[in-house]
Amino acid sequence: MTETAAPSEVLPGSPDRSLLRNSFFNGLGFLWSAAVLFFQVTYILHTLGAEMYGIWALCLILSSTFTIADFGMSATIVKFVSEYRAKGQRDEVNRVLANSFLFYLGIDGLLLPLLFFIPSLLEFLNIPGNLLPVAVTATTIALVNFMLTMTGVNIQTGLLQGYHRMDVTNRVTMAVGMPKVLGTVAAVELGYGMPGVMISDLCMVLLTIALLRWRASVIAPEVALAFRHRSWITFKLIFRFGMTLQASVISGLINFHFDKLVLSKLLGLTFLTYYDLGSRVVGKIRGLPLIVATALLPEFSRLHALRDLDSIREIYRKSSKAMLVFLLPVFGTIALVSDLFIELWLGTGYELASLTLRVLAFSYCVNVFTAVVSNASKGLGHPEIEAKTAALQVFLNVLLSPLLVLVLGFPGALIGTTTALLGGAWYYLVKVNRLLEVRAGEFALTILRLPILFSVASLLSAGGVLALGLQIGLGSFWEGRAALLLAVSGISVGVFFALLLKSSYIDPAERSRWKNAWQAILPGR
C-alpha cells in the first residue's frame, strides 16, 4: 500500500499536529544521536588516548568546515519543497530536487582536488610528525564521507522534511545508531584505530542513503529525481536563496570551530582536546532545540505561501516561549554543575573542559534562542537578515579570538566566541521583530521577563544546595558527587517549572490546545 502524507497534516486546518509531530521526532532522533556520540567520545578518549581523540575531533572540525560547500542548499530544499507542495506545484518540486542534485555533483568535483592538500593543512596545524600519517588517512576518509552525505543524504532529507515527514528522517537516524556504535568498537578492538572508525562511519552514511531513498520513494512516489527536470530558472532561484544563507554557514563554522583551530595552532593539540570535550557536551545539548526548531521552517514557508502573517506571528510567539522554557533551566543547570559533571564523566585533570562547558552554556543559550528567529526569517523569504547577522559574528570572532588567545591564553577563545554570539543574537532579534511588526518592549515583557526571573530564582536555590553539599564533603568521592549532581539538577529544574506552572505565562486555552495536538501525534501516519 502506498504511503502518502495526509493532506490535513500539511495543509491549513491542523498545523499543530504536523508541527508537534515533527518537533517530537526531531527531539527523539537527536537524543539518540547524542547518546551515540557520547559513547564514541568516551570510548575513543579512554581507548585511543587524548592525542588520538584530538585527531578525531580535528577530523570532525574539518568535515564541518567542508559544509561551506553546501551553499545553504539543504535548507533551501526544505523551504521550496514545502512551499511548492502547499501550492500543489509538484513539477516545481521535481525541478528543485533535480537542480539541487546537479549542483551537489558539481561541488563534489570541485572538492576532490582538496584531497591532495590535506597533508599540508595538517602540518600547518602543528600535528605531531608521528601522528601525521594517521591524521592524513582519517581526514581523507572524512572528506569522502562529507561528499557522500551532502550529495546522497541532504536531498532525500530535504524532500522528506519538505513533506513534513521529519519523523521518517529521524527514524532512519535511530536505525543507523546502533550499527554505528558496533562499528566504532569493532574498528578499535580489531586494531584498525582511527582510520577504522572513520571507515565505519562511512559505511553508516551509505546505509543512511539507502534507507532514506527507500522511504522517500514510498512517501512521495510522484517525485522523481531525474535530470530531465533540470531548469535554469529554478536553479537560479534556489542558488540565489542558498547563497544568501551561505553567510550563516560560514558564521557557524567560525563561531563553533575557528577558536579550536586557533588553540591547536597557538597552544597545541592538548588544549584543542580540552576545549572540544567541553564544547561538545554543550554543543550536543544546543543541538536538541535547534533540530526541534527545524520543524518551524516548512510551517513558516507554508504560511508564507498562503500569506497568513497573523498565524506566523502567533507561531513565532509560542515557539519563542517554548524555546525559553527549555533553554533557561537546562543551560543554567549545566553551567551550575559543570565541575561535577566533568569529574563524573572523565575524572580529574579536565578543569579546562569544565570551564569551557560553563562559559559556553551561557553563550550557546542565547545563540539557540535565535533558532525560532532564523526559521521565521528564512520561511518568510528574508535570508539576508541571517546573512548580515552572520557577517557581524564572523567579524567579531575572527578579530577577537586570535588576539585574546595570544593575550589571555585558553580563556581568550571562550571570550571571543561568547562576544560574537551575543552580538549576533541581539542584532537578529531586533531585525526579525521589526519584520514581523513585533514591538521590542512587548516581546521583552510577554516572552522574556518571567522565564528569566524564574531561572534566577531556581539557580539561587540550587546553588545554595550545591555549596552546602561541597561544604560537608560530598564532592570528595564519586558517589557523593553523583548524588549531589542529581540533587542540584533536580532542584534547579524543579523550582523553575514549579514557578512556571503557577504563573500565567502559558494560558489555560493554549495548554489545552497543545495537549490535544500532542495526543494526535503518535497515532498519525
The dihedral formed by the CA atoms of 228, 229, 233 and 239, expressed in degrees to the nearest 10? -110
Identify the band that residue 83 occupies on the pLDDT scale cut at 50, 70 and 90.
Answer: confident
| Mean pLDDT score of the chain | 80
Q: Is 248 exposed, middle or buried (0-12, 13-18, 19+ CB in 10 A)?
A: buried
* Domain extents in the chain: 9-438
Q: What is the average per-residue pLDDT within 196-207? A: 89
The per-residue pLDDT for 523 is: 46
pLDDT-derived band at 431, boundaries 50, 70, 90:
confident
What's the pLDDT score for residue 5?
Answer: 37
What span, in angstroms and rounded, lies between the C-alpha atoms of 246 and 384?
10
Which residue do the cell numbers 581507548 mark? 47
Q: Look at the pTM and tell me if it is higher than 0.75.
A: no
- Whether 13 has a pLDDT exceeding 50, the answer reads no
Distance of CA 453 to the CA centre of its chain: 27
Distance in Å from the first CA to the final CA of the chain: 13
Segment 486-513 shows an average pLDDT of 81
pLDDT mean over 426-431: 85
pLDDT for res 138: 86
Residue 5 backbone dihedrals phi, psi, to 5 degrees: -75, 130
Q: How far is CA 505 from CA 16, 238, 497, in A?
A: 19, 40, 11
Cβ–Cβ under 8 Å, residues 45 and 346: yes
Mean pLDDT in residue range 50-68: 76
pLDDT over 90 at 460, yes or no = yes
- Residue written as grid cell 588544549: 271
What is the pLDDT at residue 461? 92
Which of these, 167, 446, 173, 379, lies nearest to 292 by C-alpha position? Answer: 167
Query: Does the pLDDT of residue 353 top 70, yes or no?
Result: yes
Q: How confident is the model at residue 6 (pLDDT cuts 50, 70, 90)?
A: very low
pLDDT band at residue 512 using 50, 70 and 90 as cut-offs? low
**Taking 70 as the threshold, does the pLDDT of residue 3 lie above it?**
no
Which three cell numbers mark 88? 500543489
Across 125-139, average pLDDT: 82
Cα angle, residue 94 at apex, residues 90 and 96 outer, rounded to 5°: 110
State the average pLDDT over residues 439-445: 75
What percent of the chain clears pLDDT 70, i.e. is strictly above it?
A: 87
Distance between CA atoms of residues 150 and 398, nearest Å:
27
The predicted-structure confidence for 223-266, as pLDDT tens digits, reads as follows 877 777 888 888 888 887 777 666 666 666 676 777 777 887 78
Alpha-carbon gap, residue 111 to 505, rounded angstroms: 50
Q: How confident is the model at residue 207 (pLDDT cuts 50, 70, 90)?
A: very high
Strand ranges inside 202-315, DSSP E? none
Give me the pLDDT at residue 248, please: 64
Confidence of residue 17 (pLDDT cuts 50, 70, 90): low
The single-letter code of the amino acid at 172 is: V
Which range of 14-18, 76-80, 493-497 scores highest in mean pLDDT? It is 493-497
Per-residue pLDDT averaged across 124-140, rounded? Answer: 82
pLDDT at 509 over 80: no
C-alpha cell read off for 51 = 592525542
Instruction: Look at residue 284 and tell me whether its pLDDT is greater than 80.
Output: no
pLDDT in tens, 361-417: 888 888 888 888 888 887 777 777 877 887 888 888 888 888 888 888 888 888 888
Taking 80 as the threshold, does the pLDDT of residue 290 lie above it?
no
58 SS3 class? helix
Check pLDDT > 80 for residue 16.
no
pLDDT at residue 19, as a whole number: 60
- Residues of the chain above pLDDT 90, percent: 4
Residue 8 has pLDDT above 50, yes or no: no
